[in-house]
Amino acid sequence: MSDRPRTDDGKPIGGWVLRAEPRVFDVAETLAEFGQVFRFPLDPSPRADLLDAGQPCFLYSADTSKVVGIWAVGEVVAANTLIEIDATDGPGQSQLYAEVELLPLVKPIPVDKLAGHKVLSQGELLTAPEQSNPIVLRPEEVGAIEEFDFEFVSPTPEQIARVEEVLGSEDGMIFQLVGVDRSFGILDDGSDDELLSVVTVSEEGAFELGRFQWFVDALDLIRFQSNGMVLEDPVPIVAGLPDGDPVAVLQVEDGLLSLYRIGPTTFELHDPAEVDDMEPVDRFESLDAALAGLVEGIEETDGEDEPDPTV
């Protein structure tokens, strides 16, 4: 029997559709402003709780004044977020949001094409119009949608900047890894209801790679993306300390943990709080091992099970 999760009514979960009704969510306006959909309102429900990072996700626009069909494609990037909404004429309210990364298609996939597919025509999206979000896709339905030819529209730098502003990340860099031709960062504005944003910067521009609730998950993505990354030359050791710039820094409560490349495959982690001790916190024999060691360094500094560098 498959271990794939199922909905309460027994449907195997291959992915999700978020159906955007014009009175609730303006697809065209959101895509014009941000170049993507990164957050989508949901009503709390057992089904909404089944959304999980990495699951395929599709945005379906039901606005009959435009093309009805699939407008954006991507995935769930994190668990749902409950955000307090300020109210000017009364007490504030909370709204549940799906955390997604959905990029717009050059040409939406119209509903007629979906209905003409023998697999998709039997799916919940078309047979259960009363079903509230999220709408489940069986694995074979996800495969059927992916059979269509489609191209993505990449967000512009201005649109990415607007997303980062909403996410509160413009001045919240808590981790940075710097290479010769690209760098990675983890951003956090310090508020309880925002997610950590993983970004990369290169000659091609600045791009968000994903958002996560926990630092360890954000760093795992950077560990994967930085495989084969070209770093600056190793720095020498002078008077017992690295003499040069670190390849990575991590903001902690009492300063910055700094990671130095001191040999072709050797890295040292130094804690500025230990001013009387020139010995490194730890030494590693690869960049991947060093990044993993940063998580351990946070745990030692903050003394928490789940690291939070901003505490």
Q: What is the mean pLDDT of each run of 10 residues along the chain (311 residues)?
A: 78 96 93 94 91 92 95 89 66 80 96 96 94 96 95 88 66 80 80 75 76 88 90 88 84 76 92 65 91 68 47 37
What b/e readout covers 209-239, taking b as 16+ CB neighbours within 10 angstroms? bbbbbbbebbbbbbbebbeebebeebbebee
Domains of the chain: residue spans and CATH: 15-146 (3.10.590.10), 158-302 (no CATH)
- What pLDDT, on a 0 to 100 scale, did the predictor assign at position 304? 47
Q: What is the dihedral of CA 63, 117, 136, 209, to 10 degrees?
A: -80
Q: What is the pLDDT of residue 265?
A: 92
From 260, 226, 229, select the one nearest 243 (Cα to Cα). 260
Tens of pLDDT, residues 259-273 = 899 999 999 988 765
- Phi/psi-derived region of residue 142, left when phi > 0, alpha when psi is between -120 and 50, beta in every other case: alpha
Q: What is the CB neighbour count within 10 angstroms for residue 170?
A: 12
Among 241, 181, 221, 200, residue whose Cα is nearest residue 75: 221
